[in-house]
Amino acid sequence: MRGAMEVLESRFKETEIGLIPEDWEVVRLGQVVKTIKGKKPKILSENPSKNSLPYLTAEYFRYGIPNQFVNIEVEKELPVCKKEDVVLIWDGSKAGQVFTGLEGILASTMVKINPIINNLDKSYLYHFLTTKFDYLNSQTTGSTIPHINKTVFLNLPIPLPPLDEQQKIANILTTIDQKIQAEENKKEALQNLFKTLLQQLMTGKIRVRYPS
């Protein structure tokens, strides 16, 4: 029985990134996407209001807790991200790290990466860019604050399968990501339980009783 990772009989061709199926292409990232740089709002609030959206910082993406908000009625020209958008850190020590899954106003140190062709799936694009963090981070420019080298970024070769195959690949990788995250959450919960029990045992709040 064939499942999600169905084996397909394909013919392959040699490309600059190695062997790929004949019906795939290899293109430069700059041929298929454009970058939209975030901007810092004039006013940031610590409290949400009726007309506000979260300010999308790297910390918010990492920890899921918004702590700054932007009034979109007052600052209408700022770039807005939707949950399916792909966002990349452009400036700073973690330049090249990529995120998705949140809605809000894009922080000034980040860029939104928008496909400019119809046959590029955003989830596939996200997973591709996760494999390029080390390379992009090693190629940054700037002596004080590192920045992504835009030429390097736009010249990245990206394999481009047919759209339906991109979506299947992205679905498989998303499922694996979710399983990894679930296991990490279990591990964290067990570690926290261990620390709590250790503290309570060492302070006598929990007593170990032996059978008489």
Residue 35: give its domain's CATH number. Answer: 3.90.220.20
**Whole-model pTM?**
0.84
The listed range with the strongest mean pLDDT (14-18, 72-76, 137-141, 170-174) is 137-141
Answer whether residue 4 is part of any domain.
Answer: no
Asked if 22 and 15 touch (Cβ cutoff 8 Å), the reply is: no
Quick: pLDDT tens for 152-187. 999 999 999 999 999 999 999 999 989 998 998 899
CA 162, 167, 168, 173 torsion-angle sign? positive
Q: Residue 70's beta-bridge partner residues?
A: 53
Answer whether residue 156 is part of any domain.
Answer: yes
Please compute Rg for the chain using Cα positions: 22
Domain enclosing residue 77, as ranges? 12-161
d(CA 53, CA 72): 7
Answer whether residue 124 is part of any domain.
Answer: yes
Quick: pLDDT tens for 5-51. 444 456 899 999 998 999 999 999 999 999 999 999 999 999 998 89
Answer whether residue 157 is part of any domain.
Answer: yes
Answer whether residue 53 is part of any domain.
Answer: yes
Number of domains observed in the structure of the chain: 1
Q: What backbone phi and psi angles, to 5 degrees, belong to 121?
A: -80, 135
Answer whether residue 193 is part of any domain.
Answer: no
Answer whether residue 180 is part of any domain.
Answer: no
Answer whether residue 171 is part of any domain.
Answer: no
The DSSP string of the chain is ---TT------EEEETTEEEETT-EEEEHHHHEEEEE----S--BSS--TTEEEEE-HHHHHH-----EEETTT-TTSPEE-TT-EEEE-BSTTTT-EEES--EEEPTTEEEEEESSTT--HHHHHHHHHTTHHHHHHT-B-SSS-B--HHHHHT-EEEE--HHHHHHHHHHHHHHHHHHHHHHHHHHHHHHHHHHHHHHHHTTSS------
